[in-house]
Amino acid sequence: MMSRSSPASTRELLDVPPEKMPRHIAVIMDGNGRWARQQGLPRIEGHRRGVASVRRTTEECARLGIEQLTLYCLSSENWKRPPAELEFLMHLLQQYMIEERATIMQQNIQVAVIGRREGIPQEALREIDKTVELSRENSGLRLCLAINYGARAELADAVRRIAREVRSGQLAPDDVTETTLDTHLYTAGMPEPDLLIRTAGEMRLSNFLLWQISYAEIWVSDLCWPEFDEAQLHSAIRSFAARDRRYGGLGEGRY
């Protein structure tokens, strides 16, 4: 259950002023299987424990007043994993949507999902759609789950949609801009991530939000995702707040 501390009071405990807080945090949740192996447990237990980290991180972002949290739950490349593991992941996803629904509503969280629907079992899709629809009008943290997601596939889908509009005469080729592409992505209408967190010490993007993270600050933890907690999240936010975001310019005090 969430504490009743306000976003402002929690930010003060972090010693981070409101204007230095990230608006949107994206997370590549890596290391579930690695953590399980280190503990002498089956891989699926790592995924089960990873759900607890999802819960902790979501609740803390809501407490901190973060506008959006995007979690990389299942990549389009993950279908190469053993069938038994994929079946368990789909069951875990369905179970999460059912068990967390009441809490999501109590905490005023809006759930969104990005990625392709193909391959996801109908039972899981039904529960996803129900949670998304029930939480649609919530005005707190937007929890965006990237499921069966791949950034290259997202870009290809966006280009196909634009091409159809050009062919139908709705759009002139010379009118296609970066904004045009942005509004045809799965994430249309969402703020770009300010902070990208990756766990398990990996230094790659793994086909995640390649367009959207062009100017995101990257923070990597050596801990595996099941070990990620509020203290790790706070460290990432403090690191973000201390950086000079120049967006290609010289930055404050530089010449």
Residue-wise pLDDT tens digits, 49-94: 999 999 999 999 999 999 999 999 999 988 888 899 999 999 999 9
* 205 within a domain of the structure (yes/no): yes
Is residue 30 annotated as a catalytic residue, yes or no? yes
Domain that holds residue 120: 10-151+192-241
Give the pLDDT confidence score for residue 249 in this predicted structure: 64
* 49 within a domain of the structure (yes/no): yes
pLDDT at position 251 over 80: no
* Residues of the chain above pLDDT 70, percent: 91
Instruction: State the pTM of this model.
Output: 0.91
Give the pLDDT confidence score for residue 9 in this predicted structure: 53
pLDDT at position 252 over 70: no
Let me know if 83 is exposed, middle or buried by CB neighbors in 10 A (0-12, 13-18, 19+). exposed
* 37 within a domain of the structure (yes/no): yes
* 171 within a domain of the structure (yes/no): no
Split into its structural domains, the chain has a count of 1
DSSP string, 168-207: TTSS-GGG--HHHHHTTSTTTTSPPPSEEEE-TT----TT
More confident residue, 175 or 4: 175
pLDDT at position 2 over 50: no
Among 15, 30, 148, 157, the active-site one is 30
* 111 within a domain of the structure (yes/no): yes
Provide the token pair at 164. Answer: 């159809």
Average pLDDT over residues 38-52: 95
Among 78, 138, 207, 229, the active-site one is 78
Whichever domain contains 95, its CATH number is 3.40.1180.10
* 203 within a domain of the structure (yes/no): yes
Q: How far is CA 132 from CA 32, 62, 125, 145, 164, in A?
A: 26, 17, 10, 10, 28
* 89 within a domain of the structure (yes/no): yes
* 160 within a domain of the structure (yes/no): no
